[in-house]
Copies of this chain bind each other. A is one copy, B any other.
Amino acid sequence: MASVTISVQQDVLAERRQKAAELRDEFSRKGTLVVNVVSSPGAGKTSLLQAMARHWNGAFRIAVLVGDIATERDAERLRPHMPAEQLTTGGACHLEIPLVRKGLERLGDRPLDFLFIENIGNLVCPASWDLGEHLRVVLLSTTEGDDKPGKYPKMFRTSHVLVITKSDLLPYVPFNVASAIEDAHQIQPQLSTFVTSALHDEGVDAWCSYLVEERGRMLKSTLLSTHDENDSP
């Protein structure tokens, strides 16, 4: 027998936005800056997180939820560095909030300064799903070519930061850093940009400093808005 699906699209979208805003508020109140890390498969999301953990070396309380279609491979790579919970979608091309909430339950109620959500390797679908993050960070590896932002515009338009990865391979690949950044800025002029090599621990310091500053801004803004609420009659 054929199955029948009825979706009331507009209501669903509004509900999704509402749930993401609620989750973001929860994170803000706890002082946890949440970073949704998106990219093509193999652009270096896991390697960058490993390099960041090496750089911080325990200075911040961090954890990661790792999205994959199948396997626990990325969580296994990250567990020596930080608490890591694998979110396996079983085929779906992006993460959604209910799965993120399951991962949060498994992480337990530990205080965190930063929570990273390593999304499914996919430059298309995750662009349409707000996971309650404060920052969306798109990684672009030098081996993918500097023409990618224009070809995958929604992902770059909805991101706050572009991190170019694998800069150690620049001598061997046809990739112009300035062209890639210019192409990305055509789509999203507000993008902050960083150039990194996780393998050689290059550029990771500047990227980590930026995150610490962003967390400071979030803490201040949450503090002020809570203060405002208390002040209101």
Contacts and interface: CB of A to CB of B under 8 A. Distances in A.
Nearest to A144: B42
Interface string A23-53: 0000000000000000011110000000000
A151 B9 contact: no
Interface string A1-23: 11111111111000000000000
Contacts of A223: none
A163 interface: no
A148 B173 CA distance: 21
**Copies of this protein, total:** 2
Contacts of A9: 2-5
A231 to B, nearest CB: 39
A185 to B, nearest CB: 16
Given A70-B151, A73-B147, A93 B6 contact: no
A206 interface: no
Contacts of A4: 6-9
Contact of A42 (B70, B143, B199): B143
A151 B7 contact: no
A41 B152 contact: yes
B152 A69 contact: yes
Contacts of A120: 124
Contacts of A1: 10
Interface residues of A, number: 47
Given A42-B143, A144-B41, A121 B73 contact: no
Contacts of A74: 151
A2 B15 CA distance: 13
Contact of A125 (B73, B125, B169): B125
A145 interface: yes
A83 B97 CA distance: 44
Interface string A146-179: 0110111110000000000010110011100000
B123 A121 contact: yes
Interface in A113-133: 120-125
B6 A6 contact: yes
A80 interface: no
A91 interface: yes
